[in-house]
Amino acid sequence: MIRVVLVDDQAIVRTGFRVVLETAGGIEVVGEASGGREAVDVVRRTRPDVVVMDVRMPGGDGIEATRAIVDARVGFDGVGLEGGRLEGGGLGGGGLDGDRSGGSGRGAGPWTADGQEARVGSAGAPAVLVATTFDLDEYVFGALEAGASGFVLKDVEPDEFVGAVRALASGRAAIDGATTRRVIAEFTRRRRASAVEPSPDVLTERERELVRLLGEGLSNDEIGERLVVETSTVKSHLTRITTKLGTRDRLQTVVWAYRSGLLP
């Protein structure tokens, strides 16, 4: 069962999303919030697999809430919102550092979404899906830079919305191919003057091959089938890759691959 938290300042939007998701089956809406501060608290309490986040809410706190939710390594105690910014960091303390096995219950290992690998660099934080009435703009880019794993327009077809939630829960980014190119192009433009990034040479040939498959949008299972290895082996490779590159998740890894020339 995929656990979802809905964050939107309009109750009618949250109600519509809830109906679509719970009608699809295999998805449970475990919490709702109308603002960033409330969203962080709800996520801390409910430990969802996916957070559907409106980043254009009054106060402009959706991006900061995304950053706090994704960056679960930072301690969390009495987070406050002042001037549109979340203070107090991420979601440690009460915590997002437990385990979710198959999307329900708790175990001893790192918290994962539906059995997929924990999101490296985020201590297993939930994936954030941005829902917006606008196409790519500063808010969407801000949320993606803060760690969101994808975005959908609010007028998307119900099946596509459900598919995006399922994609994030299974560890994949939810951005269509054409849009991904635009996201990567913009990220490249913004970071062109940043510090020198790791060369593809830091990766082994097998790791570079795996990154190329990530660029095709394949899931862990699909990559395993292509490489004829177990899914657990794919997860181990992904962990090593993101550690070597210093990337937060699959989307950032693919962005790095385009910027470094590993992907055309």
- Taking only the tens place, the pLDDT of each residue in 18-34 is 999 999 999 999 999 99
At residue 227, the pLDDT reads 94
At residue 177, the pLDDT reads 58
- DSSP secondary structure of the chain: -EEEEEE-S-HHHHHHHHHHHHHHSSEEEEEEESSHHHHHHHHHHH--SEEEE-S--TTS-HHHHHHHHH-TTS--SS-EEETTEEES-SSTTTTS-S--BTTBS--SS---STTSPP-TTTTTPPEEEEEESSSS-HHHHHHHHHT--EEEETTS-HHHHHHHHHHHHTT--B--HHHHHHHHHHHHHHHTTSPPPPPGGGS-HHHHHHHHHHHTT--HHHHHHHHTS-HHHHHHHHHHHHHHHT-SSHHHHHHHHHHHTS--
At residue 123, the pLDDT reads 41
At residue 13, the pLDDT reads 95
At residue 198, the pLDDT reads 87
Q: Position 216: which residue type?
A: E
Q: Which fold has domain 2-175?
A: Rossmann fold (3.40.50)
Q: Give whole-number Cα distances, 169 to 1, 25, 143, in Å.
A: 10, 14, 18
CA 51 to chain centre: 8
Which of the residues in the chain have pLDDT under 50? 73-123
Q: Are 195 and 234 in contact (CB under 8 A)?
A: no
At residue 97, the pLDDT reads 30
Q: The tokens 């020198």 sit on which residue?
A: 196
At residue 139, the pLDDT reads 80
Q: Output the six-digit token pair for 204.
A: 């082994």
On the 0-12 / 13-18 / 19+ scale of CB atoms within 10 A, 183 is: buried
Q: Which fold has domain 195-260?
A: Arc Repressor Mutant, subunit A (1.10.10)
Q: Are 92 and 76 in contact (CB under 8 A)?
A: yes
Same fold, 2-175 and 195-260: no
Q: Domain limits of the chain?
A: 2-175, 195-260
Q: Output the six-digit token pair for 129.
A: 């899906």
At residue 124, the pLDDT reads 60
Q: Are 83 and 36 in contact (CB under 8 A)?
A: no
